[in-house]
Amino acid sequence: MKKTLIISLAFGLSFASKAQITNDNSMIFVQPGAIVYSEDYVLNEPGGQIDNSGDIYLEGDWINNGGNTALINSSPGTVIMNGGAQLIDGSDLTRFYNLELNGGAVTKTMNIDAETENELDLIDAELQTQVNTMFVTNPATTAIAWNNGFVASNTLGGYLSRETNSTGTYTYPVGSSTLTNIYRAVDITPASSTNNSYAVRVSSNDPSFDNGTSATGAVGPFDRAIKDASIDQLNDQFYHNIVRLTGNDIASVDVFYFGTDGTFDGMAQWQDNSNQWENANFTNINISGASSVGSPDRVSTRSVGDFTHDAFALNTVSKLIEIPQLITPNGDDMNDIFVIDNIEYYPNNKLQVFNRYGNLVYEKEGYLNDWNGNANVSKGINLIFDGEGNETLPSGTYFYVLDLGVELIEPYVGYVQIHK
């Protein structure tokens, strides 16, 4: 027969177990204002349930074998893990309302998935999820609080998940104690107020040696040597898993890091269908602030719609200049423009184009792939057009000089054919 225990304490008094609390097939009601304290673990056995509207303090592990979520009815109570190294354990997921990780700069480890309905307060602790996920289902942007605490996932497949229902910015205070400065946090800002959930992990492993399976089914390791030609190098210190678990919204993704991590141009995304890293076209900028996540001075940012593959790594891109030898400006959107690969990395460049008589017909400082075969210069002898520039050039062979504006790099000299 199921037993019922009602704990109703007032005036700050507490119910104290000298060792541990075991709930075996009982219903425990913790009334508002009540305090339950265990010097060791709290163990919820089969059939046990806890309706908590007060505070439950424990110095040992939280273990749920109840065949249920242990804490029921979304009662607005708090579980305070007040000890040192503690576990969230058992055979069944616990659905906490408020979960507070007290005890200082210690590690609380998850051996099973867990949920927090209202607020997860990390304070100064490391929440180590391992291969598991902490689901924060309160869609308020303030649903996670911390001082110097952070969420770590040392195994591929572990995440911090947040539900969203606004266009506010949701911070994921993820990090690793093995990284300098600890935090490599991520901000996600959904494009609409519809319901979505996004999950984030940072791994302090080299992706080339990180084994496991991600939430999207990607199987590690993710070899940094297998990459498309646009990528030069990939970060070997850490990488992120960023995934949309539910919903369809595009989201702005900001990945924070530190200048001491290295110089990076953007981020790459592992693509399962091609089994390689591909440039994801993030923009990296210098920042100041973000003191709540260690005051990073760099951020890699982009609006992301494709979360099919969830491995992302900071990268440098190949800056080799490739210059085409043919343009066909006929309006068919194929080779209409003189596109120089990676020219954007050389903002002080200067492009000059000459006709076969040696006349300068096009000139541009800071060229950014916008020449369509028209002249913008009208001077010199043996001109084949009249007017003041902006003239259509006839088909033929033209010669270019491209100065990148970089000391010790000689100008590129060659030819390009215009064919209409």
Residues 143 and 196 occupy one common structural domain: yes
Q: How far, CA to CA in Å, does 259 sit from each of 53, 232, 287, 296, 298?
A: 46, 18, 10, 8, 6
Give the residue from 301, 184, 196 showing the smallest Cα distance to 252: 301
Q: What is the pLDDT of residues 44-66, one digit of tens each?
A: 999 999 999 999 999 999 999 99
Full domain range(s) for residue 349: 326-418
Q: What is the pLDDT of residues 133-150, one digit of tens each?
A: 999 999 999 999 999 999
| Burial of 60 (C-beta count, 10 Å sphere; 0-12/13-18/19+) | buried
CATH of the domain at 371: 2.60.40
Q: Which residue among 286, 317, 348 closes a domain?
A: 317
Q: How much of the chain exceeds pLDDT 90, in percent?
A: 80
Q: What is the pLDDT of residues 349-359, one digit of tens each?
A: 999 999 998 98
SS3 209: helix
Quick one: pLDDT band at residue 12, thresholds 50, 70, 90? very low
User: Taking the model in full, what pTM does it have?
Assistant: 0.79
Span 203-229, average pLDDT = 95
Residues 146 and 263 occupy one common structural domain: yes
Residues 223 and 284 occupy one common structural domain: yes
Domain count, the chain: 2
Span 102-121, average pLDDT = 98
Residue 220: both structure tokens together: 């590690």
Residues 170 and 242 occupy one common structural domain: yes
Residues 214 and 284 occupy one common structural domain: yes
Q: Which residue among 317, 339, 358 closes a domain?
A: 317
Q: Which residue among 317, 335, 368 closes a domain?
A: 317
